[in-house]
Amino acid sequence: MQRTRFSAMRCSLARSLDRIGDWWTPLILRDLFLGVTRFDELVEDLGLSRNLLARRLRSLVARGLVRKVPYQRRPLRHAYLLSAAGEALLPPLLALTAWGDRHAAPPGGPPLRFRHLGCGRDFVPVVVCSCCGEALEAAAVEARPGPGGAAARGTRVVARRLATKAR
């Protein structure tokens, strides 16, 4: 009767959520990106229990999203830094943040702004098509079966549904 894990599902969103879908995990990753990288800083910033933070960090390190790196010796102390895979999560999380700015904004406007060092300006993240560069909208996206598809838990009905337009 353990909580259902998503890792076995034949769906990349489920497999992403298996890595970062736990309560607090995306906020921990955000803090690591923002430079809040030490255990006690994370506890103070987020206000979560030390207990849970330790467990989440262990899991993130084990899955290769975070590295535990010493920032001083004598006494030995560690900071938690994003790995390459962890940094690759930033753009999706930024896109989610932008959704929050638009559809769940806190009083007073966006709490954080982001500047792109490439062009030097404040920006909004936009998700575009890799082929034509156009901004994506739900109505213009069609799902089709991929090579790794299967009718496992999480795609039982979806697999049937997609098979019809397999082409």
Partner DNA sequence: TGAGTGGGTTCAATCAATGAACTAACGAGC
Partner DNA sequence: GCTCGTTAGTTCATTGATTGAACCCACTCA
Site for a second copy in 135-154 (CB under 8 A): 135-150, 153-154
Interactions with DNA, residue window 67-126 (CB under 7 A): 74-79
Alpha helices for 22-89 (secondary structure H) = 25-33, 39-46, 50-62, 84-87
| The only residue of 35, 40, 107, 140 in contact with DNA, by rule CB under 7 A | 40
Select the residue interacting with a second copy from 67, 78, 81, 101 (CB under 8 A).
101
Q: How many CA atoms lie within 13 A of 69 on its CB side?
A: 9
Q: Does residue 69 interact with a second copy by CB under 8 A? A: no
For 22, 105, 122, 138, the CA distances from 99, given in Å and listed in that order, are: 20, 9, 16, 14
Q: What span, in angstroms and rounded, lies between the C-alpha atoms of 49 and 43?
A: 7
Q: With binding defined as CB under 7 A, does residue 157 bind DNA?
A: no
Name the nearest CA neighbour of 145 among 125, 127, 163: 163
Quick one: what does residue 39 bind among a second copy, DNA, none, with the CB cut-off 5 to 8 Å set by partner type? Answer: DNA
**Site for DNA, rule CB under 7 A:** 1-4, 22-24, 38-41, 47-52, 54-55, 57, 74-79
